[in-house]
Amino acid sequence: SLFGLRGFRPFFEAESMDVAIIDTPWNGTWLGMKIAALAEAFEVNVAPHNFYGNLSTLMSAHLCAAVPNFRTMEIDVDDVPWKNDIITWVPEIIDGHLAVPNAPGWGAELNDDVIAAHPPTRPVG
């Protein structure tokens, strides 16, 4: 898994990457934008890695909407039954396209009650 500009740059310079798969939650949206800009300079498209839930989908969708070299974005549809209750937004896919919400911030609020009802079952870290 690549992280940051230094992680991606050697692959761009060697012309050994067709699509840069950016992990938006790990890199952050700001750094993801910088990676996408560097990828564009090398004529490489980007495709966010998105296997963490609806908040990650929102973060990745905002990145996709902001970069000119966006190609595709994966979405994990197989998850826990309460996945769609964690935040106040559920992905809406229309004709194969994800509708990006226009609410402030990421476009949704966390549901603290649902999060509290489902604490981690193993140590984090």
Percent of the chain with pLDDT over 70: 99
pLDDT tens by residue, 5-30: 999 999 999 999 999 999 999 999 99
Question: What is residue 121's predicted lDDT score, i.e. its pLDDT?
Answer: 87
The CATH label, of 3.30.300.30, 3.20.20.120, 3.40.640.10, 3.40.630.30, for the domain at 4-117 is: 3.20.20.120
Dihedral of CA atoms 8, 9, 12, 16 in degrees, nearest 10, equals -60
CA atoms within 13 A on the CB side of 35: 29
Mean pLDDT score, 33-43:
98
pLDDT of 125 above 80: no
The packing angle between helices 4-13 and 29-41, to 10°, is: 20
pLDDT above 80 for 55 = yes
Domain boundary assignment for the chain: 4-117
pLDDT (0 to 100) of residue 35: 99
Running DSSP on this structure, what letter comes out for residue 101? P
